[in-house]
Structure formats: C-alpha cells, structure tokens
Structure 1
Amino acid sequence: MGSEMVMVDGVPFPPQVTTTTKPLALMGYGLTDVEIHFLQIKYNAIGVYLEESVLENLGKWKGKTSSELVEDDEFYEALISAPVAKHIRVVVIKEIKGSQYRVQLESAVRDRLAAVDKYEEEEEEALEKVADFFQSKYLKPNSVITFHFSAIPLTVEISFTTEGKGEAKIKVENANVVEMILRWYLGGSGAVSPSTVKSLAEKLAENLAA
C-alpha cells in the first residue's frame, strides 16, 4: 500500500492508521456540508478506516457495482455489524463551537435509539457523557476528532486534538449508543455524509471485485 497522503478537499489523510492491534486501511472519505443560497459550506472532512478482513463479511455483495451498493441499506448494516475494528477521523474545516457539534451528534444518536425503542436510562447517561465531552470544546479549523470502534465488545474511544492543547479522550461502553454513533457516520441512506457513504461503496465494490 502506498504511503502517499490522500487529499480530501485539501485535508491530508494517511492511507492507513495503526491502532492498538492492526493497521486499518482508508476505505472511504468525504465531507459534511450544507448548501445555503447556492453556496456549499463545508464543515468537516471525514476518513473511514477499516480492517481489510471486513471484506469477509461482505461476500454476499461480490460483483455488485458501487451504485448498487450505495442504494442498499442492508450492505451498510453488514458493514456496521462486521466484527472488525473501525476508525473514523474527522478534521474540522469550518470552525464551530463544540456545543453545536454536540447538539448534532446527541440528537442524531437519541433519535436513532428512540426509533428502535432502546433509549433507556443507561443510554441517556452514556450519551450525556459524550455530549459533555464536546460541550466545552472549540472546533477550530484542523482540529481532529477520532472515533475508534472496537468490535468485541462494541465500544468507542473518542479523542479530540486541537492546536496548542493536549489530546482529550473518553471511552463509551454502552453498546447501543456506540452503535448509533457508528450508524450516524456509516449508516447508508441516513448517514451524515452522503459523499463518505458513496466513497465507501466505491472502494469496497472495487476490493470485492479484486
């Protein structure tokens, strides 16, 4: 695998990251953005890193085109539930307050939990922990948020780094909350970044065809 950085709208992403166990490969990338009065406002660049063994869980889709995969929520269900480590790197392009990011993440996760009747006291406490983590942060350009998902048991370590400050980290062990954070970023048609979901479909279709 090459060591060249992958540029996502001017933001460099390494082609792989080494976590506690195995190197994970960059399998998809994109942006979160919004169009206001015909202007595209870009908020974050996103890179999704996966263990290459994830392909063993996606054999059912071998030979499918990326355009078929991107329309298939079952494919993203299999990707999310695959028992492999997953790592999401989010680099801030447009500065926002941590409280604004907190609201987006908190409401997305809560809505998903409520929709499947899994929003109990334990989930509320775990989600509040995540919300509090971001509340006082200031997401300046080039700040980095990472979500490292361990597969068994399903947990996530969230870290935040910004210029001039040390790394801040928390670990979330409530599997329902962790799953919904993962779905917010990788959940097919309901994901926060359609360009990232499309990029994942393209790379995984290419790898499944190899």
Structure 2
Amino acid sequence: MTCRIHLASNNKKKLQELDRILVAAGIEGVEILPLSEVPSYPEPIEDGESFADNALIKARAGAAATGLPTIADDSGLTVQALNGMPGIFSARWSGQHGDDAANNELLLAQLADLPDERRRAAFVSACVLVIPDGENVVSEGEWEGRLLRAPRGENGFGYDPLFVPDGGDGRTAAEMSADEKDACSHRAQALAGLLPHLRLLAG
C-alpha cells in the first residue's frame, strides 16, 4: 500500500531532491504529491520570525487542507556581515519573490566593499513534517561557506552560483551535481532528520 505525502511546494527541484533522498535511504511505497497534485487551498501568510516558523505555517496549512501528512521547508541564505540577512527574506530580497538574478545582483552590490575574509555565509533550511492528528517534526540543517564576487555555475537555484561551501574543492553550489549536493546541503541535512518518521509512515 502506497503512503501519500503532500509536499507544500511546486518547486520541481525540491520535489526531485526529496525523491532522490527517499530512494537513497531505501524508503519505498511513498508517493509525494506537490501543490499541483492536490486540491487547491489558500496560500498561507508566511509571517513567522524564523525558517522553522514559516515551514510550520506551510506544513500545517497543507495538512489541514489535504488531510495528508505534509512536508514543508523554508530556507535561505544568512550572511554574517549583514547580521544574518537576507535570512527568511532570501527569496524576495530584491523586492520581487523568486527573482534569483535580481536577488544575487543586490546581494553582490551590498557586499561589494567587503574583503574576501569577511564574506562568510551559510545556507539554512528548516524542514517540517506535520501529521494530521499527530506530531509535528522539525529538522534543521546548515551549510557553511563563503560568497564570491560574481556568479559561477548553471546548476541549482537561488544564491547557489555565489556560494562556495567549506571543505570542498572551490566549486560553487551551482557547479556541483545533484548527488554531490544531496550529500551535504542544508536541505539534505534537514530532510535527513525526517527520514525515520517517513520510514514509519511508509510502513
């Protein structure tokens, strides 16, 4: 019997990432349904003060609307020199939600005068699993690194072309393969914390 789980997102790359992580963990019998495959419901207002707050808001709304166990994530980039910003505003840093090029351009302009040693940053993700009439599971991950002065690479999305992870070979997140990112990224770390619970749901 297949276990149906709602992913409160229409981001194809997030859906593919979750599918890959489930396969790598050997979890079978799970069908992931993004927003496009469940009856439409009002988009909740993400007015939380943290990544975990916003992920919970999305997951609770999805679970209430669909009656299905629901996964949601909220993630973004925190920059030390900007006191942790753009943070929860990462996707709309330039004023328009999801405009990656404009967000990257604005961030580079804000950091233009900073020397390389002060360009520390981290990707942060909070992934939440809400089970109707059950528990809420919150898992967080962090991927530390530094920011370049110009974008590099064609893979990934968001701030990936600017971000060089610590401990790597100098490539940006946008120059890494999907499998390489799955082994260390912030979202992969956060999703890993949900795996024991997803395994139980899958039976």
Q: Same fold (TM over 0.5)?
A: no
Task: Judging by fraction of residues, say which structure has more strand.
Answer: 1
Give TM-score, length-normalised by structure 2: 0.28
Higher RCO (Cα < 8 Å, 6 or more apart): 1
